[in-house]
Structure 1
Amino acid sequence: MTTLDYATPAVALNSGASMPLLGFGTWQIEDSEVGEATRFALEAGYRHIDTATGYGNEAGIGKALAEAGLPRDDIFVTTKMPPDNVGRERQTLEESLSKLGLDQVDLWLVHWPPNKQATPEAWEEFVKAQQDGLARSIGVSNYSLDQIDELIKATGVAPAVNQIKWGPSLFDATIVDGLKDRGVVLEGYSPFRASNLEDPTLVSIAESHDATTAQVIVAWHVKHEFVVIPKSTHQERIVANAAGARIELSADEVSAIDGLSEVS
């Protein structure tokens, strides 16, 4: 096992928990392949694993976590409930916990707004699950600021996290500031898909740090305190992506990357 450990840098959640800014994404990794990929990630020092009921790979991840033999408190595990599972919230979480081999997840998200609606009744079940100790923190994914406000108004409980598609080309200060004002941490998925890895600005910054543009994108997320969950099944790339979390970008470099936004 490597001595590298990306438990830090981390961000504080409204639950009092600490969430590593670097996570390992597992979307579109088959259950048969995810065990090896997760092992690579843990060996590379990732201490945050992101999955979902809808990914169909929780069992493989659970096996990898068990085989790694790391203390439970050292690993931050996120899973998500499909929007179609409204009315079966507790059952869904219990099934996830069984597959993952855990008594508690660190973060449980509503994967998408059910029927494109905020659905406070589902959020109420998430709050209960947190109170019962099945999820240390609870949050949402792909929610708008208005939908988050609807949940807060209905329950008095703000999501700890909103996981959304994010990268330099999608940078939107309104979303950044809006989530921050509500005490909600921004977590970005598909960071490389939401970026032009051949953009001259990124290439120039990467060259100055003797890094890849993918590593620069990871560094940009971390500098902003956006959680980032790059995904790969290739060991070399898993290791390389993680190294981006240790690159220190200057304020000017961050501003230049912010400027790549295509959001009007």
Structure 2
Amino acid sequence: MPINSTIKLNTGAEMPTVGLGTWKSAPGEVEHAVEHALRIGYKLLDTATAYGNEAEVGKGIKASGVPRESFFLTTKLNNPDMGRPKEALEHSLKQLDTPYLDLWLMHWPAPMTKNDKADKSIDWLDTWHEMEKLYKAHPDKVKAIGVSNFSVEFLERLLANSEIVPAVNQIELHPSCPQQAVVDFSVSKGIVVTAYSPLGSDNSPLLKNPVVNKIAEKYNVGPGTVLISLQANRPYVNVLPKSVKNERITQNLKVIGLTDEEIKELNDISKESSFRACHPNWTGWGNLGFTEAV
């Protein structure tokens, strides 16, 4: 386990530093991944309506036999549901077979229709205000609310026009996509940053990067452990490695300490290699301002 096993949210709740991500996890595999993760000690699970696996995550939770109150559960409001957040919340709770969420995120600031086109009749800020109302009205169902994939520009608009500061901003974060400006701004406002795709997603070139492998050899760990540890070593950042293989899930829970020089070496990778694993370009919304990995 990491040196700091939890990070305190602005709600006062403790959120685990390392959790199981489920984006791109194939159907039929998520249930067993969740069951294994909980049984070996994971305390954080992350999913989303858009992933299409909330029901499987719920089955994995039930199969594990681990009490609901002993772990932290996050899911996300889907883009086509931004005009109906109350119904979407109830759907997620039913799919996950849970009485409450520890964290409910707006997945993207991009209202969409069911056929993946921009829904210009909805302002994402209005949806956030509805999420605020649900959070205040139903503390038994939603313990915290936050956002995902928000740039500084979107965060500034939200903070200037809202009552509640998001507890979390979940973003893609790895050496080839450091998003330092987003991290710094979020942290300055008391918003914890959750790193998804810390390895750079599937078949990432980072796993073969010489800097990553040099550090991995020094500590006798795999390159994935180094990349996960880079995020877990940062104040106010937690991390969501994804896997459906029991051995890898177990390995991903191990976090090592890194020196300041090693952290600098890893961060400098972006100067030579810059890419995003997640770069949607939806009809009508473009890329939401994420024009560069950095």
Q: TM > 0.5 between the two?
A: yes
Give the secondary-structure state (helix, strand or coil) at the position aligned to 1:169.
Answer: coil
User: More displaced, 171-180 or 20-29?
Assistant: 171-180
Please show how residues 1-264 of structure 1 align to structure 2 within 5 Å. Answer: 9-115=5-111, 119-131=124-136, 132-133=138-139, 134-193=141-200, 196-225=206-235, 226-243=237-254, 245=255, 247-262=256-271
Are the counterparts in 1 of residues 152 and 181 from structure 2 also a CA contact under 8 Å?
no
Identity of aligned residues (%): 36
Give the count of matched residue pairs: 258
Calculate the aligned-residue CA RMSD, in Å.
2.0
- 1:78 and 1:95 map into 2 onto residues whose CA distance is 14
- 1:176 and 1:259 map into 2 onto residues whose CA distance is 16
Displacement of 1:72 in angstroms is 2.0
- 2:85 and 2:53 map into 1 onto residues whose CA distance is 19
Are the counterparts in 2 of residues 6 and 20 from structure 1 also a CA contact under 8 Å?
no
5+ residue gaps in structure 2? 112-117, 272-292
- 2:259 and 2:2 map into 1 onto residues whose CA distance is 21
Instruction: Give CA deviations for 1:40-90 in whole Å, capped at 9, x if unaligned.
Output: 211232110100111111111112212222232211000001112112101
Higher helix proportion (structure 1 or 2):
1
Displacement of 1:129 in angstroms is 1.9
TM-score between the two structures when normalised by the length of structure 2: 0.82
Summarize the Cα distance change of 1:19–1:43 in structure 2 as closer, same or farther, 3 Å threshold.
Answer: same
Are the counterparts in 1 of residues 224 and 252 from structure 2 also a CA contact under 8 Å?
yes
Are the counterparts in 2 of residues 31 and 59 from structure 1 also a CA contact under 8 Å?
no
Displacement of 1:118 in angstroms is 6.8
Give the secondary-structure state (helix, strand or coil) at the position aligned to 1:168.
Answer: coil
